[in-house]
Amino acid sequence: MTRGTIRRDAKAKINLFLRVLSMREDGYHEIESLAVPISLADRIVVRPAEELRVEVAGAPAFPSGGLNLALVAALALADECPDAGGALVEIEKRIPVAGGLGGGSADAAATLLALNELWGCDVDAAALGEIGERIGSDVPAMLSGEAVLMTGRGERLAPAEIPPLHWVLVRFGFGVRSPDAYRWWDEDGTGTGPDPDHLLSAATAGDAEALGPLLFNDLETPVAARHPEVGEAKRRLLQAGALGAVMSGSGSSVIGLARDEAHARTLSAGFEGAEPVVGSPPDTA
């Protein structure tokens, strides 16, 4: 049975740590990371239509030469759903493209969830996760809508209870492709970061003071070597009083940890293109 118009938020994510462990035989990298949804989100609206199509307003939907993952997701679900029909998927972009915030994966996840409801497919969460894994490594995490510990190439998930924390998000006018960031890590031999147990304990306790100095990202050094703006933003955040700062995902965005909402607003005022965001925001849907 076809429903009416469905609206969903496609929340961005930040990585509080990202460990690169090794190159896999399939060409991906074995990683470990804590991904946390934030209040910054694209807006997704799906409604019945004669054909299946995706329209995007705002920032570009994907980097030059990349795929529109929302369209890939729609087509993948249609293949699995006998009741699939046409649909118009409208995306209002707010998440920076190639910013290490999972914007394309968030759009894909929200599209899967919305079309599953619109078309009445009744595809369960496990099956949606399998579809998401085929679309992109971050899609299963975005489908969960919660903070998760990611392993494998990102598709193996364990829930993580992370209380809301306040952050400053610094974005740039350029993006970083994930394959490039991982290739640079390979080329530079940067190595693997520390055991994240203390970081995880601080994050789950919501202890921002303890968490700040523990943030790390193995991809940050090779990316900052090619894009000095990343390292400069991190230095400026720390000098301005952020409790910690780190590049998110494969870049280019940098996040700074604040004590509270007021502190986040003060920190963001000193950076062009910066904004305060909340990690693990309450679900307002």
Domains of the chain (ranges plus CATH)? 6-159 (3.30.230.10), 165-279 (3.30.70.890)
Q: Which of the two residues, 225 and 136, has the higher pLDDT score?
A: 225
Please give the Cα distance from 151 to 18 (Å, whole number).
10
Residue 160 in this model has a pLDDT that exceeds 80: yes
Q: Read off the pLDDT of residues 232-244 as tens digits, 9 standing for 90 and up.
A: 999 999 999 999 9
Q: Read off the pLDDT of residues 83-95 as tens digits, 9 standing for 90 and up.
A: 899 999 999 999 9
User: Please, what is the angle between helix 103-118 and helix 69-80, to 10°?
Assistant: 30
Residue 1 in this model has a pLDDT that exceeds 70: no
Residue type, 66: G
pLDDT confidence band for 3 (50 / 70 / 90): low
Amino acid 59: pLDDT: 54
The single residue of 13, 93, 107, 218 carrying the catalytic annotation is 13
Residue 283 in this model has a pLDDT that exceeds 80: no
pLDDT confidence band for 4 (50 / 70 / 90): confident
Amino acid 284: pLDDT: 53
Percent of the chain with pLDDT over 90: 85
How many CB atoms are located within 10 Å of the residue 197 CB? 9
Q: Which of these ranges, 32-46, 62-76, 121-135, 263-277, has the smallest mean pLDDT?
A: 62-76
The single residue of 93, 138, 218, 234 carrying the catalytic annotation is 138
Amino acid 27: pLDDT: 82
Amino acid 62: pLDDT: 47
Rg of the chain over Cα atoms, rounded to whole angstroms, equals 18
Residue 266 in this model has a pLDDT that exceeds 80: yes
* Token digits of residue 250: 């494969």
Catalytic, 138? Answer: yes
Amino acid 66: pLDDT: 54
pLDDT confidence band for 207 (50 / 70 / 90): very high
Contacts of 236 (CB under 8 A, 6+ apart): 270, 271
Catalytic, 13? Answer: yes
- Strand-pair category, 156-159 with 6-23: unpaired
Which DSSP category does 240 fall into? Answer: T
Please give the Cα distance from 2 to 48 (Å, whole number).
8
Q: Read off the pLDDT of residues 180-201 as tens digits, 9 standing for 90 and up.
A: 999 999 999 989 999 999 999 9
The phi, psi pair for 61, rounded to 5°, reads -75, -30
Please give the Cα distance from 130 to 189 (Å, whole number).
32
Q: Which of the two residues, 98 and 216, has the higher pLDDT score?
A: 216
Distance of CA 216 to the CA centre of its chain: 16
Please give the Cα distance from 89 to 11 (Å, whole number).
16
DSSP, collapsed to helix, strand or coil, labels residue 150 as strand
Distances (CA, A) of 89 to 35, 53, 68, 98, 182: 26, 6, 12, 21, 31
Residue 150 in this model has a pLDDT that exceeds 90: yes
